[in-house]
Amino acid sequence: MSKNLVIYFSHKGENYFGGALKQIEKGNTEVVAEQIANAVGADVFEVEAQKTYPNGYYTCCDEAKKELQQNARPELKKQIDSIEKYDNIFVGYPIWWGTLPMPLFAQLEKLDFAGKNVAPFCTHEGSGLGDSERDIKKLCAGATIQNGLAVRGSTVFSSQDKVAKWAKSALK
């Protein structure tokens, strides 16, 4: 059984991609999550909110900003209750307003990270990891946190080698 887990949130729909707004079928973070799972062998869990975020980029930005300001914890469609059997947990997300999306806050807060090895990764359009590493440290209290990986969303399809190298180096 795999001792590695990838937990991620990703948003399909209209996104800012390579300088233009474009409809994407598969979220950028989802692409990186799959690259990690392929590189190290891992179970994969997608965090999904009960609500549907707006498809339009700007309306989604407005919604996400409201949630961040309210420190919201959106209801989740499904959740993982235990990470006891895993040693290495890769936590992935798009940067939303400088940090991770609130549904991921809601999921991570429910888990016990004591003694775990956590490797954060994000996709973004310029911010890099932003404040997310600081927030991950709080959300995954008791874990060893590896240096995070930031991949520009518009380059995910050519980032496979870099992602695989980082994922292997983040294992404990």
Ligand X SMILES: Cc1cc2nc3c(=O)[nH]c(=O)nc-3n(C[C@H](O)[C@H](O)[C@H](O)COP(=O)(O)O)c2cc1C
Whole-number Å distance between alpha carbons of 41 and 22: 31
Contact code string over 121-160 relative to ligand X, x by CB under 6 A: --xxxxx-------------------------x-------
Backbone angles phi, psi at 84, to 5 degrees: -55, -40
120 part of the interface to ligand X, by CB under 6 A: no
Least Å from the CB of residue 84 to ligand X: 27
Contact code string over 81-110 relative to ligand X, x by CB under 6 A: -------------xxxxx------------
Output Rg (C-alpha) for the chain, integer angstroms.
15
Size of the site for ligand X (CB under 6 A): 23
Contact code string over 11-30 relative to ligand X, x by CB under 6 A: x---xx----------xxxx
Query: Which residue pairs from 158-164 have beta carbons closer than 8 angstroms and sit at least 24 positions apart in sequence?
Result: 159/32, 159/35, 160/35, 163/32, 163/35, 163/36, 163/39, 163/121, 164/35, 164/36, 164/38, 164/39, 164/40
Binding site residues, ligand X, CB under 6 A? 10-11, 15-16, 27-30, 57, 60-61, 64, 94-98, 123-127, 153
